[in-house]
């Protein structure tokens, strides 16, 4: 009997040792953290109610975690937005607000401002920018930050899953592919979609004759084709992220890993990316807390959270999840756990120079209304941006229809819009932001306008908004020449040049 008991004890100890030696076991007390960063998308997932998209992996993540509905980027373009959520500070306060600034100078981040990867590395995390799993590409390895002189941002900058460290917790970022590169190489992207749909025949592609583009675009075949292409790219993103989530499960890592999925800025469409409308700022976010960790306050699996959240709050929340104290004066706030403060009353965003296109626009949301102020003069949406003229086929169509006198309604108003101006939208009654209420005499609209005006003015003053600092003429000339080399200049714009 004694020998049997001893043998059982030996077997139990051996089984525990083998389990701890398994690749998925966690020999540390802090969670792994995974960021799944979607490129250029809004609430265009099935779990958000979108039609003509197939997103089973992210839908499951939402069922198992919390889906957030009022999360906003601080800028509607990748480099300024990423510069903000990679540090937790507004890009307008750190001089990182123009698109792809400081790539060739000696700029350094202000004192106290650091990349989240550096903070987590100092806390003992392995930092990983994942690109491939068993040789298959699942992420781009994208950085696209407006600071380049801070040293290597990742321990593993172009990582293959097999190189993932096992002796310490990891902070891993996977940057989506489809939603960005679809517009650059359309034939390659279409071929890629055909290949993976062949692996999953039940997937239904978005078809041009079935989609419903927003009403600020004309009903035109090219608009429908581009909208279907965008939705299909979202389905492709879900497939790649699904590979990552499945690998977490297979290796026993899922129960020890905080998963945070979010978009880096709004939709890949002409009035989305680059513009401070909801289509350019409102992003999806889903968080799944691991089973082996006590869930924090404000987290309930399978629920929907409608609190106002800025994308820079993801930075603060990630640091708190890792047990890292928040830096003094950080703009981002944690929204989970005992350290979470009161919900935000407002969230703010800003757009400044994008490539060669100089616009100064500021934005503030409360839970219902959205106020946008354009400071700069001249055309807004119809201003020249060579990247968009080349890669976004809807914009040339709208120009042609306008020239032919065949553009009407909201699409025409959008093309004719010019600054300086104020815009106010009721995002509950008018989610496409078609009806500008800034000129409304309704008392509720006037009260909202005055409230959000004051909030924006206060935020700009308190955060030291640097949007009024004009870049040098030499810098703008250099960028303009670069955009001309990359994308060309359309004939209508050349005709206007002196």
Quick check: 204 pLDDT over 70?
no
- What was the pLDDT predicted at 18? 31
Is 215 a member of any domain? Answer: yes
Is 421 a member of any domain? Answer: yes
Domain tally, the chain? 1
Is 17 a member of any domain? Answer: no
For residue 360, what is the domain's CATH number?
3.40.720.10
User: Among 343, 350, 381, 380, which Cα is nearest to 364's?
Assistant: 350
Quick check: 326 pLDDT over 50?
yes
Task: Report the share of the chain in percent with pLDDT over 90.
Answer: 83
Q: Are 322 and 117 in contact (CB under 8 A)?
A: no
The mean per-residue pLDDT over the stretch 6-19 comes to 36
Is 56 a member of any domain? Answer: yes
Quick check: 23 pLDDT over 50?
no
Q: Residues 136-145: pLDDT tens digits?
A: 999 999 999 9
Is 292 a member of any domain? Answer: yes
Q: Is residue 372 packed enough to be buried (19+ CB in 10 Å), middle (13-18) or exposed (0-12)?
A: buried
pTM for the structure as a whole: 0.91
Q: Residues 285-321: pLDDT tens digits?
A: 999 999 999 999 999 999 999 999 999 999 999 999 9
Is 461 a member of any domain? Answer: yes
Query: Which segments of 47-113 does DSSP mark as H helices, in order?
Result: 56-64, 78-85
Ranked by mean pLDDT, the top range of 18-22, 126-130, 191-195, 233-237 is 126-130
Task: Report the share of the chain in percent with pLDDT over 70.
Answer: 89
| Spatial distance between the Cα atoms of 349 and 379, rounded to a whole number of angstroms | 20
| Cα–Cα distances in angstroms (integers) from residue 396 to residues 2, 196, 219, 491, in the given order | 85, 31, 14, 11
| Spatial distance between the Cα atoms of 219 and 406, rounded to a whole number of angstroms | 11
Is 243 a member of any domain? Answer: yes
How sure is the predictor about 28, in pLDDT bands with cuts at 50, 70 and 90? Answer: low
Which distant-in-sequence residues (6+ apart) come within 8 Å of 86 by Cβ?
Answer: 115, 116, 117, 145, 315
Among 172-181, 216-225, 401-410, 419-428, whose mean pLDDT is lowest? 172-181
> Higher-confidence residue: 324 or 183?
324
- What was the pLDDT predicted at 247? 97
Quick check: 330 pLDDT over 80?
yes
The mean per-residue pLDDT over the stretch 10-19 comes to 33
Query: Residues 297-308, buried b or exposed e (16+ Cβ, 10 A)?
Result: ebbeeeeebebb
Is 483 a member of any domain? Answer: yes
Segments forming the whole domain that contains residue 368: 28-496
Angle at 286 (CA atoms; ends 64, 54), nearest 5 degrees: 80
């Amino acid at each position: 009997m004694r020998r049997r008991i001893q043998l059982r004890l030996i077997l139990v100890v051996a089984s525990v040792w083998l389990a701890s030696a398994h690749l998925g076991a966690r020999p540390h007390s802090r969670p792994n953290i995974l960021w799944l960063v979607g490129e250029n998308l809004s609430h265009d997932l099935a779990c958000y109610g979108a039609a003509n998209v197939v997103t089973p992996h992210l839908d499951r993540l939402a069922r198992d975690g919390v889906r957030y509905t009022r999360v906003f980027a601080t800028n509607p373009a990748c480099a300024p937005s990423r510069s903000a959520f990679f540090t937790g500070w507004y890009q307008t306060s750190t001089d990182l607000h123009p698109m792809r600034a400081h790539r060739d100078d000696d700029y350094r981040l202000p004192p106290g401002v650091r990349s989240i990867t550096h903070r987590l590395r100092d806390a003992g995390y392995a930092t990983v920018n994942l690109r491939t799993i068993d040789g298959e590409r699942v992420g781009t390895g994208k950085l696209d930050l407006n600071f380049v002189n801070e040293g290597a941002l990742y321990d593993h900058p172009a990582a293959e899953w097999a190189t993932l460290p096992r002796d310490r917790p990891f902070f891993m970022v996977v940057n989506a592919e489809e939603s960005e590169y679809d517009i650059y190489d359309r034939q390659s992207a279409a071929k890629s979609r055909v290949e993976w749909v062949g692996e999953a025949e039940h997937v239904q592609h978005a078809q041009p004759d079935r989609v419903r583009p927003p009403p600020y675009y004309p009903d035109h075949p090219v608009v429908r084709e581009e909208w279907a292409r965008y939705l299909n790219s979202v389905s492709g993103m879900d497939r790649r992220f699904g590979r990552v989530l499945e690998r977490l499960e297979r290796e026993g890592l899922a129960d020890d890993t905080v998963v945070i999925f979010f978009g880096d800025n709004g939709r890949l469409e002409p009035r989305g990316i680059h513009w401070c409308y909801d289509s350019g700022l409102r992003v999806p976010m889903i968080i799944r807390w691991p089973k082996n960790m006590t869930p924090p306050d404000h987290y309930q699996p399978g629920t929907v959270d409608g609190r106002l959240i800025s994308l820079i709050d993801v930075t603060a929340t990630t640091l708190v999840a890792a047990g890292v104290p928040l830096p003094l004066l950080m703009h981002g706030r944690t929204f989970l756990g005992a350290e979470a403060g009161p919900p935000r009353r407002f969230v703010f965003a800003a757009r400044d120079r994008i490539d060669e296109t100089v616009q100064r626009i500021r934005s503030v949301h409360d839970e219902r209304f959205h106020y946008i102020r354009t400071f700069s003069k001249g055309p807004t949406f119809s201003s020249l941006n060579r990247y968009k003229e080349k890669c976004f086929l809807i914009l040339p169509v709208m120009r042609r229809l306008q020239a032919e006198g065949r553009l009407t309604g909201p699409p025409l108003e959008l093309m004719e819009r010019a600054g300086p101006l104020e815009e106010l939208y009721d995002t509950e009654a008018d989610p496409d932001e078609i009806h500008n209420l800034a000129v409304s005499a309704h008392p509720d609209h006037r009260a909202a306008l005055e409230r959000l005006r004051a909030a924006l003015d206060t935020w700009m003053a308190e955060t030291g908004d640097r949007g009024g600092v004009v870049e040098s003429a030499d810098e703008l000339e250099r960028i303009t020449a670069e955009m001309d080399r990359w994308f060309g200049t359309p004939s209508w714009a050349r005709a206007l040049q002196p």
